[in-house]
Amino acid sequence: MSLILSLETSTSVCSVALHDGGRVLACLELHQDQSHASKLAVLIKQVMETAGKDFKMLSAVAVSSGPGSYTGLRIGTSTAKGLCYTLSIPLLACNTLEIMASEVNNMNVTKALCCPMIDARRMEVYCYILDAKNNVVQPLEARVIDESSFLALLETNQVLFFGNGSAKCKEMIQHENAVFISGIYPSAAQLGILAHSKFREGMYEDLVTFEPLYLKEFLIKQSLKVKANEQTGSNFVLSINDG
């Protein structure tokens, strides 16, 4: 038995699932912006109660590793690490884009290429290209989308675009081989399936060193108070690019 609790917090959706041997026992999702800090613990408790399982029965905790929202990823990672430390169980992590791609590939009957996209503000997205077997064709990157994006691939391949960054790219990517799919988001239900495979292979994360994949650096800006009174030298605010 492998009882895995999965936490997906990389986008505005807060998602929690419990799987036994890769089979979902319970899953709850909250589609509400900025709900992770206040609702993640509540969803975890409800999922465990719905499945009738005790925390001491858990084999591992899985978390989305990003890219995605800085705040969401931090909350998910810190919660997962806390549970793993307390229960002395391993931590598993899966790439956010891979979670979405594996879900789409479950129904990818045309064997098209997949391009999951996470919104990174303005016309930039986090994305990569995978084939129908989830093999990487083009590596993960933060990419600014314009009229020439993906043209070489689209000339010879059908490409499925999806995720919360894809809608804004629809007007830019005009090609008969470009297919846009709405309603696809990273879910703890799919995360748990991928995590089960990693658990069987012993692909655990280091609880001390593991950090989510943010892709972008964080900007530390001096506060207006300090600018007005630089003699203080003590007031700084952290400005986070939460994309």
For the chain, the domains span: 3-95+186-200, 97-181
104: pLDDT strictly greater than 90: yes
Architecture of domain 97-181: 2-Layer Sandwich (3.30)
Residues 90-94 have a mean pLDDT of: 98
Confidence of residue 102 (pLDDT cuts 50, 70, 90): very high
Side-chain half-sphere of 215: how many Cα atoms within 13 Å?
25
Mode of pairing for the β-strands spanning 13-20 and 23-31: antiparallel
If one compares 150 and 34, the residue with the highest pLDDT of the two is 150
Architecture of domain 3-95+186-200: 2-Layer Sandwich (3.30)
- The 10s digit of each residue's pLDDT in 54-67 is 999 999 999 999 99
Residues 163-178 have a mean pLDDT of: 95
If one compares 217 and 223, the residue with the highest pLDDT of the two is 217
219: pLDDT strictly greater than 50: no
- The 10s digit of each residue's pLDDT in 108-166 is 999 999 999 999 988 999 999 999 999 999 999 999 999 999 999 999 999 999 999 99
Residues 22-47 have a mean pLDDT of: 93
pLDDT of residue 33: 80
Confidence of residue 217 (pLDDT cuts 50, 70, 90): low
Residues 170-189 have a mean pLDDT of: 96
199: pLDDT strictly greater than 80: yes
pLDDT of residue 233: 43
d(CA 217, CA 148): 26
Residues 43-48 have a mean pLDDT of: 98
pLDDT of residue 54: 97
φ, ψ of residue 30 to 5 degrees: the values are -125, 115
Angle at 92 between CA 124 and CA 136, to 5 degrees: 45
Mode of pairing for the β-strands spanning 3-8 and 124-130: unpaired
Confidence of residue 216 (pLDDT cuts 50, 70, 90): low
d(CA 42, CA 220): 32
Name residue 180's beta-bridge partners. 161
| 68's tokens | 């995605």
Tell me which DSSP letter residue 236 carries. Answer: E
Q: Does residue 187 contact residue 19 with C-beta atoms inside 8 Å?
A: no
d(CA 242, CA 117): 15
pLDDT of residue 118: 95
Nearest to 147 by CA among 178, 118, 117: 178
Tokens 């892709």 identify what position? 215
